[in-house]
Amino acid sequence: CACLFACLFLVCMLVTGLPLQASAAQISLAVVTKPGSAQYIAAAKFAELVKERSNGATTVKIFHSGALGTETEMLQQIQLGAVQMGIITLGPFDTFVPEVKVVAFPFLFKDHATVDRVLDGPVGQEILKTLESAGFKGLAFSENGFRHLTNSRQPVHTAMDAGGLKIRVMESTFHKELWRALGANPTPMGWPIYSELQQHTIDAQENPLWVLSVYKLYEVQKYLSLTGHVYSTHIDIANLGWFNSLPADQQTLIATAMHDAAIFQRAYNRSQEAANLEEMRANGMIVEEHPDLQSFRDRVAKLRDMDMYAAPATRALLDKILE
Ligand code: EAX
């Protein structure tokens, strides 16, 4: 029966002249956040570029706002090929590909220029390559942004002030250890978290400024400290088997469209930061602009010596970035 099917398929190919590799007519792409979010802006730009550059032959369907579950669940679905592509915050990747957490190492990047130099250079390429071990094709890095701490209890100037806060962290062992090291009480959760903050199941969260604006977290969080403790990238991925099965010209189209969408979105994200901060002030948040970052650095220094950073591949990547 399988043989008959194969024969029929071959005859079809001969008659229709279609290439053996099937081009994708519609691509499914998952983001956990909603329209207006950093992930969605990158996704929408990608969809626009793919449609334009394929002259309408390929379209992208964006699944958003948690339609496919949490980012961990989305990664599982992409791994299985049930969804073809995703723009996913780096945090939840660490159970799939342990090496990638090097990018989220606290206080690693001093500014956006350094981020771009690392992620757009050979180390970035190496990080994208590591994703293949988990069945992902790494295409590009779009941006969530530098993460800052907010809470509903008290102003946070030093790391000591963050002690004891019940904080939501991403579904990531690394982020959990990071907040443990800071003396807080971290709980990993998917996104979104508005009602948990509102009901005081948790006191605190940490995210880039756009998140406070798009998800109106200023309604349920009073204090903002500009800690910038972690640079949060997204990794823009495809299911590896699916990507490799596409004709070469379509692979190139997808890869370059995602690259260009990421560059566009990073610039957009950065252009919004000052306005986002003003918006938080206007909505009554109390902003600690210059927290004592040394006190945070001192407490997280020990993360480098923890087991999760001891694996040679992880250690080597971290050392390369530090260089
Ligand atoms: O992208 O889960 C997180 O904290 C993410 O940074 C959030 O969904 C916004």
CA distance 3 to 272: 58
Cα(248) to ligand 1 centroid in Å equals 33
Cα(207) to ligand 1 centroid in Å equals 6
Beta strands, E only, 15-115: 26-30, 59-63, 85-89
Cα(133) to ligand 1 centroid in Å equals 24
Q: What is the largest CA-CA distance in the chain?
A: 73
Pairing of strands 59-63, 204-207: unpaired
Cα(312) to ligand 1 centroid in Å equals 29
Residue 122 pLDDT grade (very low, low, confident, very high; cuts 50, 70, 90): very high
- Supply the residue whose CA is at minimum distance from atom 7 of ligand 1: 191
Record the tokens describing residue 157, joined without a space: 């100037």
**pLDDT (tens digit, 9 = 90+) per residue, 270-280?**
999 999 999 99
Pairing of strands 185-188, 166-169: parallel
CA distance 10 to 14: 6
What is the atom index within ligand 1 of the atom nearest the CA of 205? 4
Mean pLDDT of 283-296: 98
**pLDDT (tens digit, 9 = 90+) per residue, 140-175?**
999 999 999 999 999 999 999 999 999 999 999 999
Does pLDDT of 297 surpass 60? yes
Higher pLDDT pick, 53 / 313? 53
User: How is residue 227 annotated by DSSP?
Assistant: E
Cα(233) to ligand 1 centroid in Å equals 10
In this prediction, residue 211 carries a pLDDT of 98
- Supply the residue whose CA is at minimum distance from atom 8 of ligand 1: 191
- Supply the residue whose CA is at minimum distance from atom 9 of ligand 1: 211
Residue 306 pLDDT grade (very low, low, confident, very high; cuts 50, 70, 90): confident
Does pLDDT of 13 surpass 60? no
Residue 193 pLDDT grade (very low, low, confident, very high; cuts 50, 70, 90): very high
Mean pLDDT of 5-22: 46
Cα(232) to ligand 1 centroid in Å equals 9
What is the atom index within ligand 1 of the atom nearest the CA of 144? 1
What is the atom index within ligand 1 of the atom nearest the CA of 215? 9
What is the atom index within ligand 1 of the atom nearest the CA of 211? 9
Mean pLDDT of 218-230: 98
Q: Which residues line ligand 1 (CB under 6 A)?
A: 32-33, 89, 144, 170, 191, 207, 211, 232
Mean pLDDT for the chain? Answer: 93
Q: What is the ipTM of this complex?
A: 0.97
Cα(126) to ligand 1 centroid in Å equals 24
Mean pLDDT of 89-110: 95
Does pLDDT of 10 surpass 90? no
In this prediction, residue 7 carries a pLDDT of 42
